[in-house]
Amino acid sequence: MRHGIARACVATSLAVGAHCASAADVQEPTFGGDLWSRARLTGDWGGARDRLAAKGLTFDLDLTYIFQGVASGGVNGAAFDQLSDEDDVGHTIGGDFRFGLDTQRVGWWQGGSLALRAQARAGQSVVQRAGTVSPVNTAATLPNVVDDFDDPTVALIELSYTQFLGETFALFGGLLNTAEGDDNALAGSALSNSHFLNSSMLYSLVEDATVPNVSLGGGILIEPSEHVSGSFSIFATAETAGEDPFDAMHGTTFSTEWTFAHTLRERPGAQTFGLLYGMDASRTDIAADPRLVLANVLAGRAVPETSDDTWAFYYNAHQYVVGDDEGGWGLFCRFGLSDGDPNPVKWNAAAGVAGLGLLPSRASDSWALGLFYVGVSDEDLLSGLNVDDEFGGEVYYNIAITPWFHVTLDAQVIDSALPSADTVVVLGVRTHVNF
């Protein structure tokens, strides 16, 4: 998945596809401006924030609140009988703190960057109530502290270091965060706060069986040209968010991702290819992962405590049809394929249209409409459980009140793969503040 390298590479993530810029190319940061135009609510702290950033130290804090309600459908039968009317609505609040250090700006050595990131989450979502394999609220699954799903939790999700050994080659390692991986310029990534809410629109679900949210690992970044970037990485397969990563780590995942930027009729676009191979992927870990909402169908079923190798391929692409990322719209798609055993997702696909500035008077608002399909495996974990495939759609409109405050209106309709769920309609609103 991705390694954000522009700005001295301060965000390491899985399968980390690189897009690099040397420190000399980085413009002097600025956080100033009046309340309605500045990028952060708290501004430049009387000039201190700009001075710290110029010396290589950056701090960011985001707060996101998501309200969703199940308008109709969702879990049925005995599972529904255990719910109350209050379970039809869910509230999730999350905090995301990021710290970056640029060794050249600090005055130490050239080409190094340190990234630290922590997340917190509280509230109870409608993810289980909706009864879908693909979470209707991705933020409710992050940080991915498995034992604390839908409970208050806080976790260190990244502590990594990157060192460039030239303008086109870098090494990275540490506690890696993968959630910005499989990024798409129009559809977003798992950590997006201005795109879709459903996980199937934000990344390929085939990745979850071999890719933890947080894990120890490392790799290399390569950018042979302005239009081509890639990575090779190795990390532990087990999820370690909220745990001692040295005690919890087991299994090994090998990952590579390559992104090819292009233009078509002078409009920008890109295609990303990723390949994953996981050794000793634990079936019990896969069954317990909140990112694949299988609890309703696996409840009370003994999961074999065995491990196996598994592979997955993913692809995403986008192409602007009108304008570019400063204003316009385009098409996007995703596709993923796996062995289907032990991976419970055999394949997935998503596609849609998205853009910026739908209305002339609202140039900073973003919007999108997308459809997704999840082909669920009938082998291994889900064998004999009458689990079908899943099909759904989502539409959102993101209102930029100010550069630092956005409100997103969202609607989803999903024909669930789980036998204990009816076609569900989920309506929601998200507010996001960057401090």
What local confidence, expressed as pLDDT, does residue 332 receive?
Answer: 98
What local confidence, expressed as pLDDT, does residue 96 receive?
Answer: 97
What local confidence, expressed as pLDDT, does residue 20 receive?
Answer: 41
Q: What is the CATH number of domain 2-434?
A: 2.40.160.180
Three-state DSSP at 87 gives helix
Domain boundaries, given as residue ranges, for the chain? 2-434
Rounded CA separation 94/432 (Å):
10
Bridge partners (DSSP) listed for residue 256: 232, 275
pLDDT of 22 > 60? The answer is: no
In the chain, the percentage of residues whose pLDDT exceeds 70 is 89
Q: Is the overall model pTM greater than 0.85, yes or no? A: yes
Average pLDDT, stretch 116-128? 96
Residues 407-427 as b or e (16 or more Cβ within 10 Å = b): ebebbbbbbbbbebbbebbbe
What local confidence, expressed as pLDDT, does residue 310 receive?
Answer: 94
Average pLDDT, stretch 297-324? 85
How many C-beta neighbours within 10 Å does residue 151 have?
11
